[in-house]
Structure 1
Amino acid sequence: MLKIRTVPTDTTELHKTSRVLSIAEIQSTEVQQLIDDMAAMAETTVTQEGFKTAGLAAVQVGKPLRLFVAKNLHSGEFFAYLNPKLELLGEATDLHTESCLSIPGVITEVSRHKRIRLSFFDRYGNQKAEKFDGFEARIIQHEYDHLEGILFTERARTA
């Protein structure tokens, strides 16, 4: 059973940069099960603040791998993104509140790029690239930050 790592108990673990997976690892039974378990957890978990979970990074469940699941807002499904590379598109940013399962009880405003491009491997080991905008871009950036060992509070708006 997966357990969410939280601040302050697991701060050191959450600040570690996640490692790249090989194609063999991506296609392994263990990683495929992890993806399924993470998607199921994200689908059924509500934050302490009462928000439905929009994404979950492997490091948040104690697996420092370059893997996260994020909700597709059109289909409602959670998709896996492995070994992602993020490209910020344009200069436009948006300020919006965020919360995180790893920092219960905290909501703060974070500025994120409105448009991004993500290169990644899907759960089958296929290389892909997609553009995201709006709230989906925000979700992807939040989860990507986890892979870099960055928590959303570190990007919080400062007065």
Structure 2
Amino acid sequence: MATGTALHAADDLDAVLVGPWVWPGWLIRFRFALVLLLAADAALLPLTFSGVSWVFSAVVVGVLAAYAVLIFVLVMQAKSGTRLVGYSPRGVFAPDLVPWERVARVTVGKTARAGRAVTIERADGDPVEVAIPPTVTEPEYRAFAGALRAQATARGIPD
């Protein structure tokens, strides 16, 4: 979910709930083409040692190096998880910023549609619901829920 959202870019968070890593959409879309390109490049690798043009060798090795960097970045993202919801002095990130002035209500609990969820109701009446996956442990979920409720209560926002 997360790259490109305000929550992903936020660096002033007081608390954040992190869930399991989600595969990027572009990677899911192009996975077959990427695998085919890697297989073709690996098949051409022995030719780089047979005395062919140095440009050909550079392209083959460059593509393999790019794949190594891509795999490293994906592994690091997977280890860090995906930010689901968070808050800071600026407002609640669910996953886009809702300033505290525009938050009418914060509800944390079970919903019929999403199961465990954090629901942020905006002042204009448009609620934002963030589903919490079952892989997020109950103590983490309860700790974040308590901190979010306390922050909302301190700002005069009903629960």
TM-score (norm 1): 0.28
Higher helix share: 2
TM-score (norm 2): 0.28
Higher strand share: 1
Rg bigger for which structure? Answer: 2
